[in-house]
Amino acid sequence: MARHTLLVLAHPRTDSLTAQVAARLRARVESEGGTVDVLDLYAEGFDPLLHPADEPDWEDREKVYSPEVHAHMDRILAADDILVVFPVWWFAPPAVLKGWIDRVWNYGFAYGRSRPRLAGKRLLWLALMGGTAEEIEELGMEKALGLLLVTGISAYCGLPDAALRVLHGTELSGVPAELRADRVAELLTAAEKTVDEVLAR
């Protein structure tokens, strides 16, 4: 049976490397017979601010959140796989992505139940980092991001097998113009291989 993927994109520019990676991965999933729901947080104008309507209520697990949040919850529930593609800024995901987690992965939905509603879904966090693998390891960036996304969010929400993968060396400003196309092609191929590995169909 074909699997359905929610592909979450968090970058403000449609011509960014992050957007190119997301587009390539959408094509990859569809080429394997899967279906894809692209959730472009910037393009859809998602509001990352947590307002009272979406604040968790620890005494009401059945709280009805805002219509926008429930629409996003429905898209998550409809997916077999969740693939999140984003750049890393200041050792962390963009604010719009963190706000999406804050508002949508809410109490009574993603956590706060004996049987998490997200259990059984496959989740891949695909982060684009500008530095080399050696630089990132020395700084501890990947470890810090893994603690946040894999332990603090995924496992807590009933997704213990979620994975974080990093595309290193995505800062292209120092790459000579005549070599950039080749470097982009390398990164897109690496992204495809990562998805094939983690979300093998």
Note the pLDDT tens digit of each residue in 93-129. Answer: 999 999 999 999 999 999 997 777 898 899 999 999 8
Q: Are 198 and 159 in contact (CB under 8 A)?
A: no
* pLDDT greater than 80 at residue 169: no
Tell me what pLDDT residue 1 has: 64
**CATH code at position 79:** 3.40.50.360
Its domain, for residue 116, covers: 4-198
Cα separation, 43 vs 37, whole angstroms: 14
* Mean pLDDT estimate for the chain: 90
Domain count, the chain: 1
For 65-100, what is each residue's pLDDT tens digit?
999 999 999 999 999 999 999 999 998 999 999 999
